[in-house]
Structure formats: C-alpha cells, structure tokens
Chain A
Amino acid sequence: MPVKRAEKTPMPVRDAHERAHDFREVNRGYTVFHAVFEAERCLRCQEPVCVDGCPVQIPIPEFIHAVAIGDMAAAAKILRSANPLPAICGRVCPQESQCEAECSMTKNFDPVGIGHLERYVADWERTQPPAVQAKLTRAEKIAVIGSGPSGLVCAGELARLGYPVTIYEALHAPGGVLRYGIPEFRLPKAVLDWEIGLLKAMGVEIVCNVIIGKTLTLDELFEKHGYSAVFIGTGAGLPQFLGIPGENLNGVMSANEFLTRINLMRAYEFPEADTPVRVGKRVAVIGAGNTAMDAVRTSLRMGAEEAMIVYRRSEKEMGARIEEYHHALEEGVKFHWLTNPLEILGNAEGWATGLKCQRMQLGPKDASGRARPIPIEGSELELPVDNVVLAIGTTPNPLLTRTTSGLLTNQKGCLVADEQTGLTSKSLVFAGGDAVTGAATVILAAGAGKRAAQAMHEALAARVS
C-alpha cells in the first residue's frame, strides 16, 4: 500500500563548498533505503498521468512498484523496455517539466521522485553483469552517423533486432554531447562508457574519426560500403555567436569550446593532458539553459573566483533544469537576470576585461512563447570580467547536408524528417535528435532514435517481401 508522505525523499548531495572545486559527481544517488522509502509514496494511479509526461512512455508505476517491493531486477527490466539510457536520463532529464510535472501528487504535495528512482534502478543495474550478447541475424548492414544519444539508441535497437550496425563518429570518442558537453560532475563518463560497452557487447561497431560528408559521403555508404539504410543523428553542434563588438577578444569563447576543452580534451588535467583552457578570476556566461549552467559551474571548478550568469530574460524564462539552477545557487554562482550584453571590452593586449550590458524589462510574449525582453533606456552597466562564455544556442552542423544532394533542410538548417518514423527526403535515410528538432533534450533524441530503428526495420522488411 502507498504510504502518505508529502515530501520527496531528498537526493543525497555532496557539500556545496567541497564539490564546487572538483569534477566528481554532485548527486550521490539514493541508497536502497531511500529508494524503497520513496517508491512507497507512489499512488499507483489507475490512469498514470506521469506516463503521458514521459517522452518515451516508461511504465512508471510498474517500475516504481517493483522498487517498492525490492525487486530491482524487475524494475530494471521494465525501465529498459522503454528507455535504453536510464542511467543517463535519470540524471539529466528535466523531470520537473515531464513526468514529475504530471504526477497526481504534484497538485498538493511533492511529486514522486521518478527521476531519482530511475537513476537508482539504472545504477543498481550497472552493478550486475550485463545481460546482453550479440545475435546478428540479419544480412542488411545499417550505418548510423553520430554517436550522441539518438545514434546510440538507434544502433542499440537495431542490434537487438539482429542488424549489423556501424556507428560513424567524427570525433575521436563516442557519446556526442554526453561526452563533450555535459560535465563529469553531472554525468560521470563511466556511466556513458558502460552504455557504450553494452552496445559493443551487442555487436555494434563504433568507428571514430570518420566525418560523413568529408571522409565518406552519404551516398558512398550505400554505393561503396554496402549499407542498406542510414540513420543520421548528427546533433546541433554549431555554436552561435552574438555578433556584438569584442567577441573576437582573447578570453571569449563559445560554451562548446569551453566545455569541449574541459570534458572531451580533459583540460582540467593540464599539463598531464595537453589541451589547456585559460580561466580567469571572473567568468561571465551568457545564457541560462543547461549549457550555460554547465559552463558557469565548470568555471568555478576551474578556479574562477566569481562565476556569473548574464541573461536577458528573467529566472522564469530560464531553460535549465531546476536542479542545476539550485545547485548553481548553492555553489555560489551569481545571476544577473534581465541583463543584455552589448559589448565585450578589452585591454591593449586584446584580452577581455569587461562586459558592457543593459538592463531589460519584460514585455509581451514573443514567437518563442516567452516574454520578450525590452531594453531600459539609460540603464547601461559594466561588469568586470576576464572570460566571457557564450551559451546562447547551437544549430545543426552543415557538414553533412552541404555535401549530400537531395537531403532537405528547413530554414533553420534542421533536417526535414517524418515525426513518427524519422524518414528524410531520401529513401532509406532516417534522422532524429537535435539534427531534426534543433537543440532539445537527451530523451527526445533517444526516443527519436528508437522510433527510427523500428521504422527502418519495417522499411527493410517491406523491401524484402
């Protein structure tokens, strides 16, 4: 029977002062006691509305019930049946706007800690011997371009269906944003490596250092290399800049550059690792999404004394997960809301020294459905800074589409693909994730990869018969 408790069992976290100076994971994770205690709160609703809030419709009450009765193996199996990346999603999904937003408890109490429980079960699963093996029964080879969550999930599903799959990744290590973008303190690389290990055990081949559109063209995958179908999961990795004066000053960089230097290239181990990153005393990060939050918290860990977010809208319009925002506050990040950067100021040697901004106020809603920021005349101010990190969004990388004929994109450079199947304008070429939607979330990318795998299976089966 459900036990009535108004409050969510808190996630055990590391001390804010200690953790703000290293890269070890902030959340410690539930113990089995926390997990069972929290799982008992679930009402097992007749119509589990939480499931509608989940982009991949995990049978939430079922897995939580399994946790409540202590059957972790069953819980893991239920989770994995719907979500192939539970240890990752349990850590990075914006639960507060998905499953937990819908949970019946939310009306009067805290929602059930669905994300924390998902993470608990998936971490339990990682302590068990992996229960997969390669069973490649199909003749048709499939190529997956990009090894972010969409590509990894698509490859995993196809391998489960018996297809020999090769993932081609442009960088020297697989994972996409999970590798180069989301920092260790939020998503340990060991979690990602475990998932990638599973894929390899299932027979998925991962080939790094191959840029499709450069090393090989998409057409060559079919014509020269004998693939029968292709999935494109190339993400939205092209960073945007503001176009304000001073952006080329030394010490100014995109969040992608900042995070890639640190996560993929391990600049925090410099000089043991070869790639450096220069972090000064005061770091301003422009933007307020997950990327901005990761960049600003990373700058603290790289030794910044003052790390701040500069955002032209208010706290309410912020895109970041609520948990990251709270963690950032605890770690001492400063927030300059309703502040719009106008110019980056520099010294004679060409290094950034300040950020000239203007105060804003909120007006009527704009095309994005959020209140439009309007400048307040005469409100200019100057923040002294040593680094400016731009986290104002990314768009799909045109490397592949530029060199492929017949692959339609929209005005934003996103691939045109069927929402359900992921089929693009080219036959037997499917796509999903940020490359189609523009910068979105891990679970949406994973869901798209999974649906596309099913559609590819059907398309190939139809071709044979």
Chain B
Amino acid sequence: MARILETRRLTPVTKYFRIEAPLIAAAARPGQFVMLRVREGGERIPITIADYDRAAGTLTIVVQEVGATTRRVCALEAGEEILDVAGPLGGHIEIPPGGHVCGIGGGFGSAALLCLMRELSARGDRTTAILGARTKELLILADELRPLCRNVEVCTDDGSAGFKGFVTQRLAQLIAGDGPGRPDHVVAIGPMAMMRAVADATREAKVKTLVSMDPLMVDGTGMCGGCRVTVGGKARFACVDGPCFDAHEVDFDVAMRRNKQYVREEKQAFERVACMAARESR
C-alpha cells in the first residue's frame, strides 16, 4: 500500500502523483521503474520513477491514461492509496561523466528526465532536455525541468510553443552544432515511434543513444519473459536487463509488434471501465 500525498493534472490525459514509498525512494536511481496494481484482480503495470525524495520518503510518478488500468490510476486522488507498489525495478541509467547529455522526452517520458537531469547536472555534466508534444497544452514538466538542467528545448508539432516540429528535427540541429551544441549522449524516453526516430537521427551521427523500452510486462522481476526485446539480435528481458538499451541495437519492429498482442482485450477492458465510470456518474 502506498498513500498518495499529492496529485496534479498535467494535461487532460496525464496526471502527476507524489506517493509515500520510503523503501523504494531510498533505493531508486534514474531510469528505474515500479510495478503497481490498483485493485484486487487488477493487472500489474510498469511505471517509470520520475523522481524521488529520499529524505521525505516519496516517489513521483506521472501516468498517462491509455487504457483500463492507467485510467483507474488516474481516477485516484490525494489521501487514497495505491494497492501495490513494488520496486525499484530494472537497471539504472549509466552515462560516463563529463559530457553533454541530451534527454529527450515525449508524452509521459518527460517525467523520467526529472531525476536523471538532476543527478547529471549535480555531478557537473552539461544537460539539455528536449521536450516534445503535439501542441502546447500537452507539454509537461518544462517548468519543473528548467532548474534541473542547463537548457530546456521545447518542440510542438503545431508551433504553439517553442520550436515548430518534431524533437528529432531539433535534435538534428543540435547535432549540427546549433544552440547548446552536439550532445555526447542522448537518452530518449517516450512513445516507441519517437524513440525509433531518435535512434535513426543519432545512428549516422554516431551519438551514443539510450532508449527506455516499454514492452508489455507481467511480473517485472524476470520471471515470465513476456517483456523480452531483441537487442543486438539477442532476446533480453527489459525488466531485468533493461529497461534502457543501446538504441542502435534495438529491433523496434519486433518491439512494436509485440506491444500490440493484446490490443483487442485492452480495448474490451477499457470500454468496460469507461462504461462503469459513465454509470457511476449518472
């Protein structure tokens, strides 16, 4: 059980939570995730640790409503409890110190940059965050990230804020020397299509790139193998060997196909929750 201390709607579909989880906060490192469950009979879903405060014993997570379980999570408010929270799981992000690190966040992925950028800036790395969204209203956490990194670059598809275009276009400009300049390391966290585009953008330029893979998971502890992704031609378990892998080694085609295995059932579950919510509000 983890008590929710604070919640905030970031966009119509994303919600910020600060929860009480002292053991996990004490052990967490950037890039790791927790498994959570919100009700008896509920599924276990992986959620990235966005930030942690060891002294206060709290974790920050940001959840985007895409289906039944995330919708149930986002219905929770401060004072309520999350039934199960287990972690920190997976390995943490390791980047050699002293370089220019560019973190790229799309959707809920921007959240994971919070603790990463704080840690890297604190040890003296040059840090840039590139945040992308379709439009201004969907951008998240830019203000929270500003004090944590040297540069924050904002991109929107429609130009309603910052750079007009995709994060990858802005990244290409940086690689070419614009603004804060060519990064030594890129970490991309967000939708699979975005991470693949980043991988393509940095491959030729030979910029070392990590992506945080988000396959379907069941246990998150290495017990089922459902989270396997193909990296460098080999099957790896994202929950123990990842979730971050060398972007240029990841087989995105297989990963994207595997993530669609349960679309039919997910839709059924989502419609059920939506229907129940509608009934309740009547």
Task: Say if A and B assemble together.
Answer: yes
A: residues with CB less than 8 A from B are 170-172, 180, 208-211, 214-216, 237-239, 241, 243, 247-248, 250-251, 253-254, 256-257, 260-261, 264-266, 269-276, 278, 349-350, 397-399
Residues in A with CB closer than 8 Å to B225 are 239, 241, 253-254, 256-257
Q: Complex: how many Å from CA A295 to CA B58?
A: 40
Q: Give residues 84-100 of B contacting A (CB, 8 Å).
A: 84-89
Residues in B with CB closer than 8 Å to A238 are 222-223
Residues in A with CB closer than 8 Å to B272 are 271
A274, B269: Cβ atoms closer than 8 Å: yes
Q: Which residue of A lies closest to B45 (CB)?
A: A274
* With A241-B235, A261-B218, A276-B269 as contacts: A399 and B224 at CB distance below 8 Å: no
Residues in B with CB closer than 8 Å to A397 are 221-223
Residues in B with CB closer than 8 Å to A241 are 225, 228, 235
B32-71 contact mask (Cβ, 8 Å, vs A): 1 or 0: 0000010001111000000000000000000000001100
Residues in A with CB closer than 8 Å to B123 are none
Residues in A with CB closer than 8 Å to B41 are 266, 269, 272-274
Q: Which residue of A lies closest to B259 (CB)?
A: A250
B9-46 contact mask (Cβ, 8 Å, vs A): 1 or 0: 00000000000000110010000000001000111100
* With A271-B269, A274-B269 as contacts: A399 and B86 at CB distance below 8 Å: no
Cross-chain contact of B89 among A214, A247, A248, A254 (Cβ < 8 A):
A214
A274, B42: Cβ atoms closer than 8 Å: yes
Count chain B CB atoms within 10 A of each CB in A209, A254, A274 and give the residue with the most: A274
B: residues with CB less than 8 A from A are 23-24, 27, 37, 41-44, 68-69, 83-89, 218-219, 221-226, 228, 230, 235, 240, 254, 257-258, 260-262, 265-266, 268-269, 272
Q: How distant is A195 from chain B, measured CB to nearest CB, in Å?
A: 21
Cross-chain contact of B224 among A210, A211, A239 (Cβ < 8 A):
A239
Known: A171-B221, A211-B87, A248-B228. 12 other contacts (CB 8 A): A208-B86, A214-B27, A215-B24, A215-B87, A241-B225, A241-B228, A247-B235, A250-B258, A256-B224, A271-B268, A274-B68, A276-B269
Provide a sorted-by-A list of 10 A–B residue pairs whose CB atoms are within 8 angstroms. A216-B23, A238-B222, A238-B223, A248-B254, A253-B225, A264-B219, A271-B269, A273-B43, A274-B42, A397-B221
B221, A399: Cβ atoms closer than 8 Å: yes
Count chain A CB atoms within 10 A of each CB in B86, B224, B230, B269 and give the residue with the most: B224
A-B contact count (CB 8 A): 120
Q: Complex: how many Å from CA A211 to CA B225?
A: 18
A215, B84: Cβ atoms closer than 8 Å: no
Q: Which residue of B lies closest to A238 (CB)?
A: B222
Residues in A with CB closer than 8 Å to B42 are 273-274
Cross-chain contact of A208 among B84, B89, B223, B224 (Cβ < 8 A):
B84
Cross-chain contact of B257 among A250, A274, A275 (Cβ < 8 A):
A250
B223, A278: Cβ atoms closer than 8 Å: no
Q: Complex: how many Å from CA A210 to CA B225?
A: 20
Interface residue SS majority, chain B: mixed
Q: Complex: how many Å from CA A233 to CA B51?
A: 32
Q: How distant is A238 from chain B, measured CB to nearest CB, in Å?
A: 6
Q: Complex: how many Å from CA A386 to CA B222?
A: 25
Q: How distant is B159 from chain A, measured CB to nearest CB, in Å?
A: 37
Q: Complex: how many Å from CA A415 to CA B84?
A: 29
Q: Which residue of A lies closest to B84 (CB)?
A: A172
* With A350-B257, A399-B240 as contacts: A256 and B86 at CB distance below 8 Å: no
B222, A274: Cβ atoms closer than 8 Å: no
Residues in A with CB closer than 8 Å to B221 are 170-171, 211, 237, 397, 399
A254, B224: Cβ atoms closer than 8 Å: yes
Q: Complex: how many Å from CA A271 to CA B42?
A: 10
* With A253-B226, A275-B218 as contacts: A172 and B268 at CB distance below 8 Å: no
Residues in B with CB closer than 8 Å to A215 are 23-24, 27, 86-88
Q: Which residue of A lies closest to B237 (CB)?
A: A238
Count chain A CB atoms within 10 A of each CB in B69, B221, B223 and give the residue with the most: B223
Residues in A with CB closer than 8 Å to B240 are 398-399
Q: Complex: how many Å from CA A216 to CA B24?
A: 8
Q: How distant is A203 from chain B, measured CB to nearest CB, in Å?
A: 21
A211, B258: Cβ atoms closer than 8 Å: no
Cross-chain contact of A256 among B69, B223, B230 (Cβ < 8 A):
B223
Q: Complex: how many Å from CA A247 to CA B234?
A: 11
Q: Complex: how many Å from CA A459 to CA B27?
A: 31
Q: How distant is A414 from chain B, measured CB to nearest CB, in Å?
A: 16
Residues in A with CB closer than 8 Å to B257 are 250, 349-350
B44, A265: Cβ atoms closer than 8 Å: yes
Residues in A with CB closer than 8 Å to B84 are 172, 208-209
Q: Complex: how many Å from CA A350 to CA B262?
A: 13
Q: Complex: how many Å from CA A210 to CA B86?
A: 6
Residues in A with CB closer than 8 Å to B258 are 248, 250, 350
Q: Complex: how many Å from CA A387 to CA B15?
A: 37
Q: Complex: how many Å from CA A464 to CA B223?
A: 39
* With A250-B257, A253-B225 as contacts: A278 and B87 at CB distance below 8 Å: no
The 3 closest A-B pairs by CB, nearest first: A276-B265, A257-B224, A209-B86
A278, B86: Cβ atoms closer than 8 Å: no
Residues in A with CB closer than 8 Å to B262 are 276, 278
Residues in B with CB closer than 8 Å to A243 are 235
Residues in B with CB closer than 8 Å to A278 are 261-262, 265
Count chain B CB atoms within 10 A of each CB in A260, A270, A271 and give the residue with the most: A271
Residues in B with CB closer than 8 Å to A398 are 222, 240
Residues in B with CB closer than 8 Å to A250 are 257-258, 260-261
